[in-house]
Structure 1
Amino acid sequence: MIETLDGIFETVHYKQSTTLKLYDNREYEDYPKHWHPAIEIIMPVENGYTMQFSNSEVYLREKDICIICPGCVHAIKAPETGRRIIFQPNTTYLRFLREFEVLISFMSPYAIITPEDYPSIHEQLVNMLVEIKEEYMAGTSFSELSIYSKILEMFKLIGQNYSSKTTKTNDYSVSSKEDYANKFVEICDYIDNHCSEDLKLDEVADMSGFSKFYFERLFKQFTGTSFYKYVNQKRIAKASELLIEPGNSVTDVALNCGFMSISSFIRMFKLQKGCTPTEFKSMYWSLEIERSGEKAELVQ
């Protein structure tokens, strides 16, 4: 269930003394459009589950796994009977890992893991998610550490499998699949670090050693999105971080994130986040004030 919803922003209330939240959900309950900073991993165990996103609807069968990236607006329509695992780990502190950050960008806004698309790892991921559920419910010593080790292992498997899938083609000239994957991880890392600058497709293509046309094809094949859409995703991600810092105005954030006009920034932010930058800022600080009040009560 959603415990706290402010507009479409969900506050995730983690299990006490952890940064994890998991439901072994059996309720007949629809969830309205919402988003949250936490990653969400959903797997139906009995009966299916319907996920609704901004421009698509996905039906999850039993043991299909849906990974919803931070900031993705989604809604859920539940069947009258069924059971599913809904897992929300806070992965903020994992974002400093370059490969983890790049993989989240590739999967954004969501990814569906099925036995057809991921035959070599699907069963292993299902078993790991069940193990996470059992450890979470048991709450034994160091279970949080064990769960995060499994989360990293899951994303490692997905990343390795993703790289393998995207390099199953003969229309590239790098010497091996590993070189191909590494080259585009480096390119995405460069974009992440320079997204606030005026990045040009031609210039980045030159850096990669590919022609503009060839680079554009390969970039979309590897990331699942176009070059400029990827750049905008990274700009909005950076803007989200700057907006919650005290003293930063919406105008300052827009200019510092590479947007040439406030209107284009607001339009792009709302398209990706489902709310305006001002609403996002307001919701965050309302939450912080609420948390401060809770801490003060505990101290007293």
Structure 2
Amino acid sequence: MESAHSAFSEIVNEEVIYQNPLLFLKIWELGSDSAHFGVPTPWLWHSHKQVEFLVVMEGLLAIQTKHELAVLSAGDVIVLGSSQPHRTYKYSAGPLRQIVFQIDLKQHFDLSTMPYLHCFSELTHPLEQFNELFRSNPGVKQAAYDFILQIFEESQSRKIGYELAISAAIKNLLLLMLRNDNRDLSALAEDSGIARLRPALDHIDNHLGERITVEDVCSLLNLSYHYFIKYFKKVMGISFVDYVNYKRIKKAERLLLTGDLSMMEVSFEVGILNMAQFYKLFKRHNQCSPKEFKQRMRSQTGVTPAPLLAQAD
């Protein structure tokens, strides 16, 4: 068998199409009743920018990452970090059933939970380290299994309020990992300095439709340019520019769903005056154009947003 440390010369960069653009996830069941098993030819690597959880419900699944080759059995859970190469195969002749759950985690943090984003940052805390938690703590593994199964069932039933149920289960899954991790990430979050950045975050929220400069925010906090850039990245887990762009696109999503503005009007409303830049940023966050996003959401909900009413003088 090829070594787990072999060169990743052929990695398929998989594009994940979200089942609901506002939930930023894809979750589905894979199954095989075939007696055929073993290493396929070719056995290709693949990766994607989304974090992936794998849950085995029945049978045996072999998975290889750049760190290890493991065999998962029924009840096992494994998490793969963003853009981490991996490949799998059916390990036994019996039936195999698994849930594949791909998600852009950073999209599920709002202002109240943003201080914890860096606890799940690939730069400082590789998510694969949580797999040791699943292996060593059966109770945590079972709880994670149950949350992921709940997310899958809600995504299949699509009952009214399923988005709320899925969002709650995702946050509970993250909380489970956070509170049971032996690296004491909670201590890091408590010392994140979010209170010190609050004037800057409020300034960003209040001026999304305008030009926002690092210099303006530095003056609010009385910090030097270079210190602020490093401090913001340390506290928030993402750069100042990426955070501002994230907030602009989130506002653009709301405008696209709740109003009937043109694409140019939406772009200007969120402070992006260059349409090419607006399309580029929107596609980076949503894997689709603003127009496709609007059409997809309308087709999912079956509701066409009413035009904005003019305010009376």
Task: Report the equivalent of 2:196.
Answer: 183
- Say whether the 8 Å CA contact 1:65–1:112 is kept in structure 2: no
One-letter identity of the residue aligned with 2:174: F
Q: SS where residue 113 of structure 2 aligns?
A: helix
CA distance in 1, matches of 2:288, 2:274: 18
1:114 equivalenced with 2:128 (yes/no): yes
Distance 2:191 2:29 in 1: 38
The superposition leaves residues 8-49 of structure 1 with CA deviations (integer Å, 9 ceiling, x where unpaired) of 45359xxxxxxx997564459x9x9999xxx98623545465
What residue in structure 2 maps to residue 64 of structure 1?
78
Tell me the equivalent position of 1:155: 174
**How far, CA to CA, are the matches of 2:272 and 2:166 in structure 1?**
39
Which of 220, 230, 240 aligns to 1:217? It is 230
Structure 1 residue 215 displacement after superposition: 1.2
- 1:252 offset after TM fit, Å? 1.1
Q: Distance in 2 between matches of 1:34 and 1:74?
A: 7
Equivalent residue in structure 1 for 2:285, among 253, 272, 279: 272
The answer for the alignment partner of 2:307 in structure 1 is: none
In the alignment, does 2:244 pair up with 1:235?
A: no
Q: Give yes or no for contact 1:216–1:227 (8 Å, CA) kept in 2.
A: yes
The 1:138–1:85 alpha-carbon spacing in structure 2 relative to 1, beyond 3 Å, is closer
> 2:135, 2:214 → 1: CA distance?
35
Match of 1:210, SS?
A: coil
User: Which residue number in structure 2 is paired with residue 43 of structure 1?
Assistant: 54
Question: Hey, what's the Cα distance between the residues in 1 that align with 2:264 and 2:140?
Answer: 43
Residue aligning to 1:263: 276
Deviation at 1:166, TM superposition (A): 9.8
Is 1:132 matched with 2:143? no
Q: Give 1:277 shift.
A: 1.3
The residue type paired with residue 216 of structure 1 is I
- In the other structure, the counterpart of 1:15 is none
Q: Using the aligned pairs only, state the percent identity.
A: 21
Deviations 1:142-197 (A, max 9, x none): xx999987654443455677x965986xxxxxxx9536244346644653454333
> 1:113 touches 1:122 (CA, 8 Å); kept in 2?
no
Contact 1:42 1:86 in 2 (8 A): yes
CA contact (8 A) 2:252 2:267 kept: yes
- Normalized against structure 1, the TM-score is what? 0.57
Aligned to 2:211: 198
2:94 matched to 1:79?
no
Assess, with a 3 A threshold, how the Cα gap between structure 1 residues 102 and 258 changes in structure 2: closer, same or farther. farther
Kindly indicate whether the alpha-carbon contact (under 8 Å) linking 2:79 and 2:130 is maintained by their aligned counterparts in 1: no
Unaligned segments of structure 2, at least 5 residues: 1-15, 34-43, 155-161, 305-313
Cα shift at 1:132 = 3.0
Query: In the alignment, residue 129 of structure 2 is paired with which amino acid?
Result: P
Instruction: Report the count of equivalent residues.
Output: 250
The RMSD of aligned alpha carbons is: 5.5
Contact 1:9 1:283 in 2 (8 A): no
Rg larger for: 2
| C-alpha contact 1:198 1:258 (8 A) present in aligned 2 | yes
One-letter amino acid matched to 2:54: M
The amino acid of 1:213's aligned partner reads: H
1:241 partner SS: helix
In structure 1, what is the Cα distance between the partners aligned to 2:134 and 2:84? 28
Preserved contact between residue 50 and residue 59 of structure 1 (Cα < 8 Å): yes
Match of 1:222, SS state, is helix
Instruction: Answer yes or no: is the 8 Å Cα contact 1:8–1:34 preserved in 2.
Output: no
